[in-house]
């Protein structure tokens, strides 16, 4: 039996998924997707959500064949220890790169909007230390934190609703002016925002519930994330003119900045401060996946050391000097490489498992 400290209920699993997937992308996604698919970008994000649902089914189908193994243990069960550990190392590097990129983008945002004169050598380590404090807790504690942070995620559509009071819906017309190739490029731009679903394969063994319940929880989480992204993108498209999108890399923050209340000014700074907790949760999730992989590769039950190593690695990567152009190239690279990790490898492994009838003994399913 799993100990209470190593188990996660379905509600915690739902919010763990949401926090992993939504992250920092909500700030820059409307801008990035507009440059690929123009005002048809909302179609791209809906298609990306559908593709993600298919990939969730793929990952779920693979996980239920080995219900007591996480993603890394599953690799070794399917293709042997040597090749399995090699694939695990690739995924560990991949998760660390994503965590470092999220940290880089967040550091860039707070440098532009809030702490322009505070050196990175101060900001980045302090933020990572906060992540490390949570990361060294049991998975149940981390999951509870994800639930607590959940309502902050819902602030995004609430704030975006303001756009509908001072908007121009005609900016969305005519629909399908972009080619399907351009819409497809928009789907690729959105893929980074959807890659967090791999948490399903990591948490599957410790989630309490039937296989069907786990699939439904992940599916509902994906629907919520897709709906939030779609709503935010549409709100941005009808609030800013096409010309403005060329010069507004963070349209959501600029939209919130225009909101003015009697007692509160600069709501954008308050929002950014609250959203930093969501970003922390996202980074913790990716570091958790990486540290679980390190512990599995080195056959260790405790991941305290590996959590520290993972945190140190992303801190060093984030401190490497970057500019906006480099970040965009890095984002494009992750989008294309990510498709290999989120689609190609899982699809190949599932095909291999089906063809060679590889699964855990029937009594454990």
User: 23-49, pLDDT tens digit by residue?
Assistant: 788 888 888 888 888 889 899 999 999
CA–CA separation, 170 vs 182, rounded Å? 21
**What DSSP designation does 175 have?**
T
The average pLDDT across 355-359 equals 81
Residues near 130 by beta carbon (within 8 Å), at least 6 away in sequence: 280
pTM value is 0.92
* Residue 178 three-state SS: coil
Is residue 70 over pLDDT 60? yes
Q: Cβ distance 282 to 102 under 8 Å? A: yes
CA–CA separation, 198 vs 162, rounded Å? 33
Could you tell me the two tokens for 139? 């998975």
Q: Cβ distance 253 to 30 under 8 Å? A: no
Is residue 90 over pLDDT 90? yes
- Looking at 56-60, 61-65, 124-128, 249-253, which range is the least confident one? 249-253
Per-residue pLDDT at 365: 40
Q: What is the pLDDT of residues 142-180, one digit of tens each?
A: 999 999 998 898 888 888 888 788 778 888 888 888 889
State percent of the chain over pLDDT 90. Answer: 42
């Amino acid at each position: 039996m799993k100990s209470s400290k190593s188990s996660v209920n379905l509600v915690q699993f739902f919010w763990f998924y949401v926090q992993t997937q939504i992250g920092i992308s909500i700030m820059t996604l409307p801008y990035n997707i507009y440059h690929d698919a123009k005002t048809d970008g909302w179609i791209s994000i809906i298609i990306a959500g559908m593709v993600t649902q298919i990939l969730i089914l793929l990952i779920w189908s693979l996980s239920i064949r080995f219900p007591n193994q996480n993603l890394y243990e599953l690799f070794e069960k399917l293709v042997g220890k040597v090749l399995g550990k090699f694939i695990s190392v690739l995924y560990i590097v991949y998760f660390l790169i994503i965590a470092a990129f999220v940290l880089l983008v967040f550091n860039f945002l707070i440098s532009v909007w809030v702490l322009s004169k505070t050196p990175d050598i101060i900001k980045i380590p302090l933020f990572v230390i906060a992540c490390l404090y949570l990361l060294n807790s049991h998975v149940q504690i981390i999951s509870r934190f994800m639930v607590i942070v959940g309502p902050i995620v819902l602030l995004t559509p609430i704030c975006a609703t303001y756009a509908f009071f001072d908007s121009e819906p005609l900016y969305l017309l005519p629909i399908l002016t972009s080619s399907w190739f351009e819409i497809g490029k928009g789907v690729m731009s959105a893929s980074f925002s959807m890659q967090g679903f791999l948490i399903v394969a990591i948490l599957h063994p410790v989630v309490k519930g039937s296989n069907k319940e786990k699939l439904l929880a992940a599916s509902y989480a994906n629907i919520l994330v897709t709906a939030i992204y779609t709503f935010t993108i549409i709100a941005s498209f009808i609030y800013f003119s096409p010309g403005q999108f060329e010069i507004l890399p963070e349209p959501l923050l600029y939209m919130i900045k225009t909101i003015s209340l009697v007692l509160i000014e600069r709501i954008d700074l308050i929002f950014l401060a609250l959203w930093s907790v969501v970003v922390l949760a996202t980074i913790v999730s990716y570091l958790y996946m990486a540290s679980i992989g390190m512990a599995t590769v080195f056959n260790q039950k405790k991941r305290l050391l590996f959590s520290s190593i993972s945190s140190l690695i992303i801190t060093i990567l984030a401190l490497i000097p970057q500019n906006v152009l480099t970040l965009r190239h890095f984002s494009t690279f992750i989008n294309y490489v990510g498709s290999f990790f989120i689609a190609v490898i899982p699809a190949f492994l599932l095909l291999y498992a089906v063809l060679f009838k590889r699964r855990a003994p029937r009594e454990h399913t």
